[in-house]
Amino acid sequence: MLPSNIATALYSVLDRVPKGSCWAVSCGSAMALHGLDHYPNDLDLFASHSEAAQLAIALGDLQTVFPYRASVSASISSHWGRFLAGGVEIDVVGDFSVRRDGREVAWDARHPCWNRLEWIPVGDRLVPTMSIPDLLVLYELLPDEAHKLGLIRASLARGVTCRA
């Protein structure tokens, strides 16, 4: 379950998101929406670069920590911007790509995760959320995420692949 401040920030996003856009709650917030025992302290939104750019524009009236822009490191590439709503950091991430141990995955417009989104109720709204199997792939590639990876693997071992 999402902490109330994260849920409030999510409602702020839902009130601004362009109609018909393709995006999803990801990372720790998605884990919480799926009912895993994780309490996020921020809200992560994934989309393709073009969809994320539109989402960043839609959130432009919120406090901007840093604007949506290209971000590249040795292991991660993306477009990324951070906003604040009620003290909660909202990260808008486009075309997120991770390279680790000779493996690379890019959550861009071609990634099949967009066909596997889970629509999870938050209050009276349905929220597009990355699936548990897609979160598994994400956390297998991210360093220093053993705890989250363990929660996801335990969920899958119990046969839980979605919240419903």
| Strand-pair partners of 83 | 64, 90
Write down the mean pLDDT value for the chain. 92
What is the reported pTM? 0.92
State the Cα–Cα distance between residues 31 and 25, nearest whole angstrom.
9
Angle subtended at Cα 35 by Cα 94 and Cα 99, rounded to the nearest 5 degrees? 35
Domains of the chain: 4-157 (3.30.460.40)
Q: Residue 144: pLDDT above 90?
A: no
* CA dist., res. 1 & res. 59, Å (int): 24
β-partners of residue 63 are 84
Q: Indicate the residue type of 52.
A: A
Name the band, by pLDDT with cuts 50, 70 and 90, for residue 100. Answer: confident
Does the structure show a pLDDT above 90 at 164? no
Q: Please, is 83 exposed, middle or buried when counting C-beta atoms within 10 Å of its C-beta (0-12, 13-18, 19+)? A: buried
Q: Is residue 162 over pLDDT 90? A: no
Helix (H, G, I), strand (E, B) or coil at 73: coil
The angle formed by the CA atoms of residues 49, 51 and 52, to the nearest 5 degrees, is 65
pLDDT category of residue 163 using cuts at 50, 70 and 90: low
